[in-house]
Structure 1
Amino acid sequence: MTTLDASTESVPRVPAQPTAEAAPAAAPAADPMMIGLPSFVVGSVALGLVLIGYVPASAVGASLAVIIAATGIGLLIAAGWAAAVGQSAVAGVFGIFSGFWLSYALLVLGLTHSWFGIATAAAVDTQGLFLISWLVVVGMLTLATLRLPVTYTILFALIEVALALVLAGTVNGSAGTLQVGGIVVLVFAAVGVYLFFSTASTATGGSALPLGPPLVR
């Protein structure tokens, strides 16, 4: 009686199963607000300090180094980054505020160095024109943020209030009103700091801070 030779070649082989490995945690997506928010905050603090009288009234250009080199250019970089990653709303906001800060710097430099041929008697009206123009744009942005968490709407509303106070103080020659406007500027800078902490928490693997529900759904 012969026996069946079960050689190793006649036995079907079961393919080895790959060892299960834990999938690596996904890295947080790059966020241009990590540049945009601190750029916005530093310019706001500098402007607020000028308005509350930290420097003499004659030193109106004291904030321009910060506003041009850090805020205006920083926001422009953040806007380009946001556009590159498809965040059109963020790119729009940062681009608009880059325009605000750079145009503010150009206004101050132009008036103090007589670049635009504007007579001294027309300087107040020129500043009023600037402020009214930006009141319109920031008011538009405030309404456009009603679908965002309410913290963003509060930020833009505070900017609108600050612009209105600075306009009133400029037109009426009221240092007190300008100081109140400066305080509001520092308050919206603080809101910007809160938003940055929320963004930084997310970027470092944590959870976002509470930003509140949107006013319009």
Structure 2
Amino acid sequence: MSVESDVQAGAHAAAEPPAAAAPAPNPALLGLITFLPSGVTLGLWFLGYLDTATLPGGMIPIVSLSAGLFLLIASVWAARVAANAVAAIFGVFSAFWLSFGLLLTGLTSGWWGVTDAAAVAGVQRTYLLSFTLVFILLTLATLRLPLAFTAGFVFVDITFVLAFLGVSTGNTGLFPIAGITTLVFCAIFAYILFDGFTQDLGGRALPMGTALVK
């Protein structure tokens, strides 16, 4: 091969565009899109769209499988790519939805032997208080995330506080408000999901707001 042909071959190789980089793993897409149906269902339940007195068991399949199971899968995926904070966030939400499904199963079927109304209320209060404290801790621990995430977690906190107070005081008027706050955090997480899909498909990032803690 001549020097000229070598130069031409080198120029041709240099002109070739570099191969596109493979997209980074993003378990948040799976986690958020499977979280939303259960979140919307919970909000509608609080608002009275689903009869809270006689039909709470109808929520069991969607909260256990759509959110609980697939958030667990997203958490494992995140852990495998060393996205530790994402894995923890999806893990605690998976724990909530799976345990909520089991709680509904037990209280609507009598599996746990809890049938007295006062005992049921006591179990619900303890359950809600425990997760309320954990979600508040999660909110404080993730203040370095963009503001959209913090706003979503704050509305989760408000929802749990309202639900806890509603069960503790017997004030059923708090549940519709909890339904509204539930739909608000679903809308925020839907926005974050849309941003994730947009970036994964080559679009521009949507504004997420500045983190409260840098």
TM-score normalised by length of structure 1:
0.91
Unmatched runs of 5 consecutive residues or more in structure 1: 1-11
Query: Which one of the candidate residues 18, 35, 39 is aligned to 2:34?
Result: 39
- Name the structure where helix makes up a greater proportion of residues: 2
RMSD of the TM alignment (CA)?
1.4
Query: Which one of the candidate residues 90, 94, 101 is aligned to 1:98?
Result: 94
Whole-Å Cα distance in 1 between the matches of residues 63 and 115 of structure 2?
25
Aligned to 2:130: 133
Question: Is 1:16 paired with 2:13?
Answer: no
Q: What displacement does 1:64 show?
A: 1.7
Q: Which moved more, 1:163-172 or 1:24-33?
A: 24-33
* 1:21-54 Cα distance to aligned partner (Å, 9 max, x none): 1112223212101100111111100111111000
Aligned to 1:53: 48
Alignment of 1:179-194 (within 5 A): 179-194=176-191
Question: Is 1:82 paired with 2:72?
Answer: no
Whole-Å Cα distance in 2 between the matches of residues 59 and 44 of structure 1?
17
Aligned to 1:109: 105
Q: What displacement does 1:146 show?
A: 0.6
Query: Which one of the candidate residues 18, 21, 33 is aligned to 1:26?
Result: 21
Question: Is 1:149 paired with 2:141?
Answer: no
Whole-Å Cα distance in 1 between the matches of residues 171 and 162 of structure 2?
10
* 1:132-165 Cα distance to aligned partner (Å, 9 max, x none): 0001100110001111101111111110000000
Q: Which moved more, 1:144-153 or 1:17-26?
A: 17-26
The answer to whether the Cα contact below 8 Å between 1:28 and 1:205 also exists between their aligned partners in 2 is: no
Flag the structure with larger Rg.
1
TM superposition outliers: structure 1 runs of 4+ over 6 Å: none
Whole-Å Cα distance in 2 between the matches of residues 123 and 190 of structure 1?
31
The letter for the 2-side match of 1:38 is I
Q: Would you say how many aligned residue pairs link Structure 1 and Structure 2?
A: 206
Whole-Å Cα distance in 1 between the matches of residues 131 and 41 of structure 2?
19
Whole-Å Cα distance in 2 between the matches of residues 127 and 30 of structure 1?
37
* Identical aligned residues as a percent: 40
Aligned to 2:169: 172
Alignment of 1:186-205 (within 5 A): 186-205=183-202
